[in-house]
Amino acid sequence: MKMKKIVGFGIASVMALTMAMGFTAAAADYEECTLKFAWWGGDSRHEVTQQAVNAFMEKYPGINVEVNFGAWSDWESARALEFQSGTAADVNQINLSWIDEFDSNGDVFLDLNTVSDTLDLTQWDEAYLDMMKDQTGQLAGVPVSMTGRVFYWDKTTFDEAGLEVPTSLAELREAGKVFQEKLGDDYYPLALGEFDRMILMTFYLQAKYEKPILADGTVNMTVEELQDGLDFIMSLEADHVIPSIVTIDGDAAASLDQNPKFIDGKYAGILEWDSAPKKYMSALSEGRELVVGDEFTDFGENGKTGVFTKVSLGFAISTTSEHPKEAAMLINYLCNDPEGVAIMASERGIPESKAAYAVLEEAGSLDPVIAEAHSKVMAASEYPEVPVFESNDLKGSEGTYRYVFGGLSYDEFDTEEGAEELYNGMVDACEG
Amino acid sequence: MKKWAKSNIGFFFIIPWLIGFLIFKLYPFGSSLVYSFTDYNLFKGIKETGLMNYIAVFEKRQYREALIITFKYAFMTVPLKLVVALFVAYILNFKLKGVNLFRTAYYIPSILGGSVAISVLWRALFKDDGLIQQMIRMLGGNPPSFMTDPNWALFIICLLRVWQFGSTMVIFLAALKGVPEDLYEAASLDGAGKWRQFFSITIPLITPVIFYNLITQLVQAFQEFNGPFIITNGGPRGKTTLMSILIYNAAFQKYDMGLASAMAWVLFVILVFFTAISFWSQKHWVYYADEE
Amino acid sequence: MAKNTANMSAEDLSYYYNRKVKRKNQISSIIRYTVLIVVGIFMVYPLLWMVGATFKENSEIFAGLNIIPRHPTLEGYQNAVKSYGGNINIWKALFNTFCIVIPKVIFTLVSATLTAYGFGRFNFVGKKILYPIMISTLFLPQVVLNVPQYILYNRLGWVGSPLYLPLIVPSLFACDTYFIFMLVQFLHNVPHELEEAAKIDGCNVVQTLVKVVVPMLMPALISCALFQFMWSSNDFMGPLLYVNTPAKYPASYFVKLSMDSDAGFSWNRVLATSLISIIPSIVIFFLAQDQFVEGISAGGVKG
């Protein structure tokens, strides 16, 4: 599957198209009603989205939008109960996994094809829309943005070591040695938690064996191949490229951005979502510079990256909504209408809607760092992420990833047994 | 009828509770018991019924381990916290200048509860090369790695709970106020020192409240969630994963209400067992002033 | 004479004895204060650190345990009082908290006292079954009750109620077993004689409850009020499930609004809002303790 960004055609034509569309939507008749709209996020997202909602209400007098917002923690639990008992908001910001978890019968999220005359679905790549389809083939939501993992390097530390930031696995390995010799045992060019390790290992395996790790609802790698991946990760640990999980546990930080060793540049690299750099940049102590790295192409022989991407979040309409048409108008306003798009900017990542992207690029309002990270990820991306990859049985705090990668670092078992565990865990999760 | 009412007058006082119980509690309790015998998933419904959840709780390594860790946790924290809280309450019950400030100070950790500040601080204290390790090294010791050594990790979680003794202390303080002062006066005339007074007068008179704290601390320890959640996230290697964390994750990460309910009911039975023993033991050590 | 000197020496003795006691008292109070202060530092340090951290920058918050910020900034507080699109700010959120907590405390006190009095003082048909049932409602973790409770409140049409019905109404019906059990245990320490006396004075059961039992239970009731205040103020899950308009968010919810793990957030702001939100609990405790510690004379038996 090819996932390169298509921005090939003239911005002016996109503008014209969206303007015309905005116009028809405004002219279209709608019912006066009250809609509920719920999302999670942080400060700036709350503020911007409320502005956009107010502008929407101004543009379409008679439609009143009530909002509900909060932080991610426990947000999912509360919404789960709402979806289950039919009290959910009309429009919801959704996580990709919700489609599988909540909507397996297709009765929680409205099939957006039914409102396609209001919501302009042509603004999205068919491939990305496909990712939002539930098991019954209905379109459960629209993808607001795509995301994937990319390296970020603390350039200041690499400068201290007299190195350029690595652009390949070979350079990274070399950096591990230099760091240890020049800067000390505490310094590592890269720090990876359990899930980060799984992602890097997946890059490695997908690039080397040139196939996706999960496909058609099954594990697409053999136990031996998985063991090769685990050996690869453990070799990084042995070569002083990454600190062991024991070391990271000992640091007792809730996440890397709260880890003083990252804050002070001792852990000089991370593998994070393209949407996340601000969090890490603001965490670094003064004077340190975080730069976006290149995806590696030397995991295997044929220059593959093994990189995969996923829908970071979407908008969906609940089947219980009494005003699906007006709800669709709201989504369209937020995703495609130049007016709404300009307000929303890149608060939910670099927008996937072509109209939105064009408007923001034109206005120069894309965050340069996020835009750089995003374009690197999207350019390198070879596979879509399968939702089960992040299922709780695998990614959760008692999940397989934590068990396997932690167990290897704590020396509880070898990679042969680890590969067996990982394989079985993934098979179980697929059968779910 | 009137006669019945007269001899059962207490019943009228508990009517509000009874209504509340029937409306707000019976249904949730009943449902969770029923769920526990099914594979009820919030979004996939029920496909199977039977004892499989209970079998899983006792057979799967993860659940069995969590059960054992929960027991360890409860039996370490409950006695320690009771002793500390009672001791501090006893001291803070003296008429000392500025005692109000001390009482408030000692209550503050309880108010902070599971807040971000606590999590950041405890991690900073016990991490590798953290304050505690540095202090031990300064004294010439060889400190363990608190966060990666399973036993120590559990211990610091326990320590957090003991440290938050404020609420228990407040209840003890309230009880100490109920001990008539003339009893102390009589005892000190008899030449009994403060310690003897404490053990021969204070303790016996507040046994009902000690009993209360014992039961509620036991319940809370078995249901503890915050400590491991904010400090170790269940690690290292799942060695601080208490039952409540597994229940939470089963219920609200996997939406597996069946499994979550089964684990909760296993806890329920354990608590019934311990509480029954405690209630039975009361007649040997709890002194009730209102009984002849 | 002999009698006199004997008296003198006895007085002398008692003088010396008193001085010794005095010195002993002085030493013991020094020890007491030392212990109190040392332990007190351990107890208050997190709060002090938190106060300091509200003036720190993000990177410094995780750097160490020092209280004094290296580069003090007011950013945390400036952001803390910012409002979200005019819908909600920290003061309004605190007000909302009080709207939930104050009725809840009052209802709890009344309903729990009635129930505890019923269970603690009377024998009636079914008590032998109902009492253990009541106690056992403590034993099931709230997590597994959330789902059926939500379904129930939803059927009652209470979800999203502007009056916070799902959060407040249960306390009218003594749904917090902790407090009933506590009051029952405290009742055990109140001798029957007082009530007998009241009965002879012509009080009925209700009057006895109000005039005799409640004053005796005052320390326990104050503790109940304190705990209910603190727990309800801290409750996050309840508001998350049952409140869904920003203008109605209580402080416990408000504090977490900005904590987006993906985009990152300013810790000083989070700590500043948390600090503001716990101040009422601290102040109320400080003020209330006089009430329950000095409120009744020794044992109150004289009443």
Residues B127-174 pLDDT 10s: 998 889 999 999 998 999 999 998 999 999 999 999 999 999 999 998
Quick one: average pLDDT of B28-43?
Answer: 92
- Residue in C closest to A279 by C-alpha: C264
CB of C69 within 8 Å of any CB in chain A? Answer: no
**Dihedral, CA of residue A155, residue A157, residue A161 and residue A162, to nearest 10:** 30
* C266 close to C58: Cβ distance less than 8 angstroms: yes
The domains spanning A11-147+311-380 and A148-308+384-431 adopt the same CATH topology: yes
Mean pLDDT over all residues of chain C?
86
| Tens-place pLDDT, residues C180-209 | 999 999 998 888 888 888 888 888 888 999
**pLDDT tens, per residue, chain A with 432 residues:** 344 333 433 444 444 444 444 444 444 588 999 999 999 998 889 999 999 999 999 999 999 999 999 988 889 989 999 998 899 999 999 999 899 888 888 899 999 999 999 999 999 999 999 999 998 999 999 999 999 999 999 999 999 999 999 999 999 999 999 999 999 999 999 999 999 999 999 999 999 999 999 998 899 999 999 999 999 999 999 999 999 999 999 999 888 988 999 999 999 999 999 988 888 998 898 899 999 999 999 999 999 999 999 999 999 999 999 999 999 999 999 999 999 999 998 889 999 999 999 999 999 888 899 999 999 999 999 999 988 899 888 998 889 999 999 999 999 999 999 999 999 999 999 987
Q: How much is the pLDDT for B184?
A: 82
CB of B272 within 8 Å of any CB in chain C? Answer: yes
Provide the token pair at A111. 């099939």
pTM of the model: 0.89
What phi and psi, each to the nearest 5 degrees, are found at residue B38? -130, 175
* A12 close to A20: Cβ distance less than 8 angstroms: no
CA–CA gap between residue C269 and residue A53 (Å, rounded): 25
CB of A13 within 8 Å of any CB in chain C? Answer: no
Mean pLDDT over all residues of chain B?
90
User: Does residue A143 have a cis bond before it (omega within 30 degrees)?
Assistant: no
CA–CA gap between residue A344 and residue C273 (Å, rounded): 26
Return the residue in B116, B165, B188, B248 with the most chain C beta carbons within 10 A, the one to mutate for interface testing: B116
Q: Locate tokens 């629209």: which residue?
A: A142
Across the strands, what pairs with A153? A269, A291
How far is residue C293 CA from its own chain's centroid? Answer: 14
Task: Identify the chains in contact with A, defined as 3+ C-beta pairs within 8 A.
Answer: B, C
How do the domains of chain A map onto residue ranges?
A: 11-147+311-380, 148-308+384-431
Q: Give, in words, the CATH class of C85-300.
A: mainly alpha
Q: How much is the pLDDT for B194?
A: 79
Q: Give, in words, the CATH class of B43-285.
A: mainly alpha
- Secondary structure of A206-253 in the HEC alphabet? HHHHCCCCEECCEECCCHHHHHHHHHHHHHHHHCCCCCCHHHHHHHCC
Does A42 contact C154 at a Cβ distance shorter than 8 Å? no
Task: Identify the chains in contact with C, defined as 3+ C-beta pairs within 8 A.
Answer: A, B
Output helix, strand, coil percentages for chain A, rounded to the nearest 5. 50, 15, 35
CA distance C292 to chain B (A): 7
* C249 close to C93: Cβ distance less than 8 angstroms: yes
Does C79 contact A68 at a Cβ distance shorter than 8 Å? no
Helix (H, G, I), strand (E, B) or coil at C258: coil
CA distances from A351 to A201, A278, A336, A344 (A): 28, 17, 10, 9
**Dihedral, CA of residue A432, residue A275, residue C72 and residue A254, to nearest 10:** 20
Q: How much is the pLDDT for C153?
A: 94
CA–CA gap between residue A124 and residue A139 (Å, rounded): 12
How far is residue C14 CA from its own chain's centroid? Answer: 46
Residue numbers of B between 157 and 216 with CB closer than 8 Å to A: none
- Residue in B closest to C181 by C-alpha: B212
Residue numbers of B between 240 and 269 with CB closer than 8 Å to C: 244, 247-248, 251-252, 257, 260-261, 264-265, 267-268
Interface size between A and B, measured as CB pairs under 8 A: 75
First to last CA, chain C: 49
CA–CA gap between residue C116 and residue A343 (Å, rounded): 57
A148-308+384-431 in CATH: which number? 3.40.190.10
CA distances from B256 to A431, B39, B244, B253, C136 (A): 15, 7, 14, 8, 24
Q: How much is the pLDDT for B42?
A: 86
Q: How much is the pLDDT for C299?
A: 41
State the burial class of residue B8 (Cβ atoms within 10 Å of its Cβ: 0-12, 13-18, 19+): middle
* HSE-CB of C92 using CA atoms within 13 angstroms: 14
CA–CA gap between residue B65 and residue B150 (Å, rounded): 12
| Tens-place pLDDT, residues C220-273 | 999 999 999 999 999 998 999 999 899 999 999 998 888 877 777 788 888 999
CA–CA gap between residue B97 and residue B99 (Å, rounded): 5
Q: Which residues of chain C have pLDDT under 70?
A: 1-14, 16-17, 292-303
CA distance A155 to chain B (A): 26
CA–CA gap between residue C65 and residue C48 (Å, rounded): 10
Residue numbers of B between 145 and 164 with CB closer than 8 Å to C: 163
CB of C237 within 8 Å of any CB in chain A? Answer: yes
CA distance C175 to chain A (A): 22
CA–CA gap between residue A220 and residue A231 (Å, rounded): 18
Residues in B touching A108 (Cβ below 8 Å): 43
CB atoms within 10 A of CB C6: 10
Q: Which CATH entry fits the domain spanning A11-147+311-380: 3.40.190.10, 3.40.50.720, 3.40.50.2300, 3.40.50.1370? A: 3.40.190.10
Minimal Cβ distance to A398: which of B123, B148, B234: B234
ipTM of the complex: 0.92
Residue numbers of B between 58 and 87 with CB closer than 8 Å to A: 62
* C113 close to C205: Cβ distance less than 8 angstroms: no
Residues in A touching C60 (Cβ below 8 Å): 285
Residue numbers of A between 251 and 280 with CB closer than 8 Å to B: 251-254, 258
Task: Please state which of the ranges B80-89, B190-199, C131-140 shows the lowest mean pLDDT.
Answer: B190-199
Does B124 contact C64 at a Cβ distance shorter than 8 Å? yes
- Secondary structure of C5-47 in the HEC alphabet? HHHHHHHHHHHHHHHHHHHHHHHHHHHHHHHHHHHHHHHHHHH
